Structure 1
Amino acid sequence: MNNKTLSILSYVTIIGWIIAFVKSKDETPKSDLVIYHLKQGFGIFLLTFAVNVILSIVLSIVPSLYFLSFVGYAFLILWIFGIINAANEQKKPIPVIGKMFEDKFDFIN
């Protein structure tokens, strides 16, 4: 697989992320583009998972806050931005939250 495909695959579910991670470890010259999008994809996955767990707890306690469930759509839009950046082979952070993940997850390097 080429770097563009691995970058896009890093956003497509956690299984796609694992495949991209394993394939990128096999490359001899490490691709900065793939590593960057692996970090962004893993970060958005973790953040989405944490927010969904917190929201499900809050909504089970206070059902009148049902409108908070629309936060998932914001993550969907941010996820699409990440895929678009990977498809264009750009190392741009995901809007609003992407800067948090740039220097995290050292195990990906």
Structure 2
Amino acid sequence: MDNKTLSIVSYITIIGWIIAFAIGKDKADDLLKFHLKQALGLAIFSIIYQFLLGIIITITGITILSILGLVVLALMIIGIINAANGVKKPLPIIGSMFEDKFAFIG
């Protein structure tokens, strides 16, 4: 797989990220490293976001808030589109937080 394909795969769940990282770690270019960082940040954000959203829905009983769970899906789609176009554009809202994190990626 080329780096562009691995960049796309990295956004498809944490398993996709692990596959992209394992296959591409030796031949990673700047594009792949950037999207690996963004995708890992999105995965961490997703876990925390879904946990907090679950607590809020449980406390308030307002099930319409479950629609807010689509935020992560929208961010994932935006990341995939950016990776497919070969651009290093941070994800909206959360992307800038992860640009200089995760030094083990490169």
**Partner residue, 1:72:** 69
CA RMSD of aligned residues (A): 1.2
Pair 1:18-2:40 in alignment: no
Which residue in 1 is equivalent to 2:55? 57
- The separation in 2 between residues aligned to 1:50 and 1:98, in whole angstroms, is 15
Q: Aligned residues, how many?
A: 106
Unaligned runs of 5+ in 2: none
How big is the shift at 1:43? Answer: 0.6
Once superposed, which parts of structure 1, at least 4 consecutive aligned residues long, lie more than 6 Å away? Answer: none
Report deviation, 1:56.
Answer: 1.1
- CA distance in 2 between partners of 1:68 and 1:51 (Å): 12
Q: Secondary structure at the match of 1:107?
A: coil
Deviations 1:71-103 (A, max 9, x none): 211221111110000001110111222111101
- Can you list the C-alpha shifts for 1:27-77, whole angstroms capped at 9, x where unaligned? 2xx3110010001001111101101011112222221x3232222112211
Q: Contact 2:12–2:76 at 8 Å: present in 1 too?
A: no
Alpha-carbon distance in structure 2 between the residues aligned to 1:26 and 1:10: 15
- 2:103 maps to 106
Unaligned runs of 5+ in 1: none
Normalised to the residue count of structure 1, the TM-score between the two structures is 0.90
